[in-house]
Structure 1
Protein backbone atom coordinates (compact mmCIF):
# COMPACT_ATOMS: atom_id res chain seq x y z
CA UNK A 1 0.00 0.00 0.00
CA UNK A 2 1.36 3.41 -1.04
CA UNK A 3 1.23 6.12 1.59
CA UNK A 4 1.07 9.88 1.10
CA UNK A 5 4.80 10.38 1.73
CA UNK A 6 5.69 7.95 -1.08
CA UNK A 7 3.26 9.68 -3.41
CA UNK A 8 4.72 13.10 -2.54
CA UNK A 9 8.27 11.85 -3.14
CA UNK A 10 7.27 10.40 -6.51
CA UNK A 11 5.54 13.64 -7.46
CA UNK A 12 8.60 15.72 -6.47
CA UNK A 13 10.90 13.43 -8.45
CA UNK A 14 8.66 13.88 -11.49
CA UNK A 15 8.75 17.67 -11.08
CA UNK A 16 12.55 17.65 -10.87
CA UNK A 17 12.83 15.51 -13.99
CA UNK A 18 10.54 17.89 -15.88
CA UNK A 19 12.73 20.83 -14.82
CA UNK A 20 15.84 19.04 -16.03
CA UNK A 21 14.22 18.23 -19.38
CA UNK A 22 13.02 21.83 -19.78
CA UNK A 23 16.58 23.25 -19.66
CA UNK A 24 17.94 24.45 -22.99
CA UNK A 25 19.94 21.81 -24.81
CA UNK A 26 23.08 22.78 -26.74
CA UNK A 27 24.07 20.63 -29.68
CA UNK A 28 27.27 22.38 -30.70
CA UNK A 29 30.49 20.41 -30.47
CA UNK A 30 32.64 21.09 -27.41
CA UNK A 31 36.41 21.45 -27.43
CA UNK A 32 38.63 18.87 -25.75
CA UNK A 33 41.07 21.60 -24.70
CA UNK A 34 40.42 25.07 -23.30
CA UNK A 35 40.82 27.86 -25.87
CA UNK A 36 42.34 30.11 -23.23
CA UNK A 37 44.82 27.99 -21.24
CA UNK A 38 45.00 24.69 -23.13
CA UNK A 39 43.94 22.51 -20.18
CA UNK A 40 41.80 19.45 -20.85
CA UNK A 41 38.05 20.04 -20.50
CA UNK A 42 36.45 17.17 -18.50
CA UNK A 43 33.99 14.94 -20.35
CA UNK A 44 31.11 15.86 -18.05
CA UNK A 45 31.57 19.55 -18.94
CA UNK A 46 31.95 18.78 -22.67
CA UNK A 47 28.58 17.01 -22.59
CA UNK A 48 26.93 20.41 -22.07
CA UNK A 49 27.71 21.18 -25.71
CA UNK A 50 29.44 24.18 -27.21
CA UNK A 51 31.98 24.40 -24.38
CA UNK A 52 35.24 26.12 -25.33
CA UNK A 53 36.69 27.05 -21.92
CA UNK A 54 37.64 25.06 -18.81
CA UNK A 55 35.78 25.78 -15.57
CA UNK A 56 38.51 28.10 -14.29
CA UNK A 57 38.73 30.21 -17.45
CA UNK A 58 34.93 30.31 -17.75
CA UNK A 59 34.73 31.62 -14.19
CA UNK A 60 37.31 34.32 -14.92
CA UNK A 61 35.42 35.35 -18.07
CA UNK A 62 32.11 35.56 -16.22
CA UNK A 63 33.69 37.57 -13.39
CA UNK A 64 35.13 40.06 -15.90
CA UNK A 65 31.79 40.36 -17.67
CA UNK A 66 29.98 40.93 -14.39
CA UNK A 67 32.51 43.56 -13.36
CA UNK A 68 32.27 45.45 -16.66
CA UNK A 69 28.48 45.45 -16.96
CA UNK A 70 28.15 48.28 -14.46
CA UNK A 71 30.14 50.69 -16.64
CA UNK A 72 28.34 52.28 -19.56
Structure 2
Protein backbone atom coordinates (compact mmCIF):
# COMPACT_ATOMS: atom_id res chain seq x y z
CA UNK A 1 0.00 0.00 0.00
CA UNK A 2 2.83 2.41 0.76
CA UNK A 3 4.43 1.87 -2.63
CA UNK A 4 1.73 3.63 -4.67
CA UNK A 5 1.58 6.39 -2.07
CA UNK A 6 5.32 6.99 -2.39
CA UNK A 7 5.05 7.05 -6.18
CA UNK A 8 2.22 9.59 -6.00
CA UNK A 9 4.26 11.75 -3.61
CA UNK A 10 7.28 11.64 -5.94
CA UNK A 11 5.11 12.56 -8.92
CA UNK A 12 3.58 15.47 -7.01
CA UNK A 13 7.02 16.73 -6.03
CA UNK A 14 8.27 16.47 -9.62
CA UNK A 15 5.24 18.37 -10.96
CA UNK A 16 5.62 21.04 -8.29
CA UNK A 17 9.30 21.52 -9.13
CA UNK A 18 8.50 21.78 -12.84
CA UNK A 19 5.78 24.37 -12.17
CA UNK A 20 8.16 26.44 -10.04
CA UNK A 21 10.88 26.31 -12.71
CA UNK A 22 8.38 27.35 -15.39
CA UNK A 23 7.20 30.27 -13.27
CA UNK A 24 10.75 31.43 -12.55
CA UNK A 25 11.65 31.20 -16.25
CA UNK A 26 8.89 33.67 -17.20
CA UNK A 27 10.16 37.18 -17.80
CA UNK A 28 9.44 39.56 -14.95
CA UNK A 29 8.10 43.04 -15.72
CA UNK A 30 10.44 45.88 -14.90
CA UNK A 31 10.29 49.64 -14.71
CA UNK A 32 7.74 51.82 -12.98
CA UNK A 33 4.34 50.44 -12.05
CA UNK A 34 1.05 52.11 -12.90
CA UNK A 35 -0.94 53.62 -10.04
CA UNK A 36 -4.27 52.62 -11.61
CA UNK A 37 -5.09 49.39 -13.45
CA UNK A 38 -4.71 49.47 -17.22
CA UNK A 39 -8.02 47.65 -17.68
CA UNK A 40 -10.43 48.69 -14.92
CA UNK A 41 -8.79 51.93 -13.67
CA UNK A 42 -9.05 50.82 -10.03
CA UNK A 43 -6.06 51.72 -7.82
CA UNK A 44 -3.28 49.12 -7.68
CA UNK A 45 -2.24 48.41 -4.07
CA UNK A 46 1.12 49.87 -3.07
CA UNK A 47 2.54 46.44 -2.14
CA UNK A 48 1.80 45.17 -5.65
CA UNK A 49 3.22 48.30 -7.30
CA UNK A 50 6.44 47.80 -5.32
CA UNK A 51 7.21 44.73 -7.47
CA UNK A 52 7.90 47.03 -10.42
CA UNK A 53 6.43 47.01 -13.91
CA UNK A 54 2.91 46.20 -12.71
CA UNK A 55 0.21 47.32 -15.14
CA UNK A 56 -2.94 45.63 -13.80
CA UNK A 57 -4.65 44.89 -10.49
CA UNK A 58 -4.57 41.24 -9.41
CA UNK A 59 -8.06 40.29 -10.72
CA UNK A 60 -7.43 41.88 -14.13
CA UNK A 61 -3.97 40.31 -14.35
CA UNK A 62 -5.51 36.90 -13.65
CA UNK A 63 -8.01 37.39 -16.49
CA UNK A 64 -5.24 38.59 -18.79
CA UNK A 65 -3.05 35.55 -18.02
CA UNK A 66 -5.95 33.14 -18.55
CA UNK A 67 -6.70 34.65 -21.95
CA UNK A 68 -3.04 34.18 -23.01
CA UNK A 69 -3.27 30.41 -22.44
Displacement over 3 Å in runs of 4+: 23-27
Residues in 2 aligned to 1:28 and 1:62: alpha-carbon distance in whole angstroms: 20
The count of aligned residue pairs is 44
Aligned to 2:65: 62
Task: Return the offset for 1:58.
Answer: 0.2
My pick for the range that moved more, 26-35 or 54-63, is 26-35
- Taking structure 2 as the reference length, what is the TM-score of the superposition? 0.56
RMSD: 2.0
Query: Which is greater in Rg?
Result: 1
Structure 1 residue runs of 5 or longer lacking an equivalent are 1-22, 67-72
Structure 2 residue runs of 5 or longer lacking an equivalent are 1-23
- Taking structure 1 as the reference length, what is the TM-score of the superposition? 0.54
